[in-house]
Amino acid sequence: MSRTRIKICGIRDEQMANIAAQAGADAIGLVFVEKSPRNIAIDTARQIVQSLPPLVEPIGLFVDEDADHVRHVAEQVGINTVQLHGRESMDDVLALDNLTVLKAVTFSNDPQKLEELIDEWSDPPSHLKALLWDADASDANEGLLGGTGHRFDWDAFAKLIYSGKIDRLPKPILAGGLNPDNVAHAIEIVQPYAVDVSSGVESSRGIKDPDLIVQFCEQSQQAKCD
């Protein structure tokens, strides 16, 4: 039986980072997107990274930034893994081959859009380790492409996984609209490599709630995995 990894995104201070780590999070997300309510400064991010216990991965999140900027921030903060959460292409990923990359993609029920997505991300380079599947929320939240609490059709996604059509894609991380009440059910349906949450563990926009983080991790850990 394998274990579903947990990423808590949009951490903004050391205390919350350590609550997440203590609760069992494998990774925390640090958002470098100016118009996000979860955006943090480089100095704050560096302090959070330095305060983390070993074996908890800090992940820097960017939207449509050029490679030099991403590399510069990663170096300043001391992170080795980045999440590209905009409309980045395979070429953008290839330009970051000194980093581990997670690429966010939008799940669509439209077969043609799915085919295009599969074509684009099949046979990835070795530093592209996972695709983070999120809901299409481009109209919501001031145009932000993530952290909106929107979910997508998990049953359709599970069917796609079991069809074998995305076997040549990087490992799937399930995101979008997860919270402590639905994460165990989502894991049981989809059996993703990892789950990712932001607004589902917040008491208000951009403000993380320690109790919800703990509940989210407990529920994820208790879910039945294949």
Ligand X SMILES: O=C(O)c1ccccc1NCC(=O)[C@H](O)[C@H](O)COP(=O)(O)O
Q: Minimum distance between the CB of residue 1 and ligand X, rounded to whole angstroms?
A: 25
Contact 28, 222 (CB under 8 A): no
Catalytic residues: 9, 134
Contact 146, 104 (CB under 8 A): yes
**Beta carbon nearer to ligand X, 80 or 123:** 80
* Rg of the chain, C-alpha, whole Å: 16
**Beta carbon nearer to ligand X, 48 or 115:** 48
**Beta carbon nearer to ligand X, 18 or 36:** 36
Q: Applying CB under 6 A, which residues contact ligand X? A: 9-10, 29, 31, 33, 36, 38, 61, 63, 85, 134, 144-150, 175-178, 196-200
Q: How far apart are CA 83 and CA 103, in angstroms?
A: 6
Which among 75, 79, 122 is positioned nearest to 103, based on CA atoms? 122
Q: Minimum distance between the CB of residue 164 and ligand X, rounded to whole angstroms?
A: 26
CA distances 188 to 94, 119, 162, 183, 199, Å, are 33, 27, 13, 9, 21
Contact 170, 222 (CB under 8 A): no
**Beta carbon nearer to ligand X, 54 or 143:** 143
Q: Minimum distance between the CB of residue 86 and ligand X, rounded to whole angstroms?
A: 7
How many CB atoms are closer than 10 A to CB 8?
29
DSSP β-ladder status, 202-204 and 128-134: unpaired
**Beta carbon nearer to ligand X, 5 or 38:** 38
Q: What's the token pair of residue 61? A: 């999140």
Residue with tokens 């990923």: 93
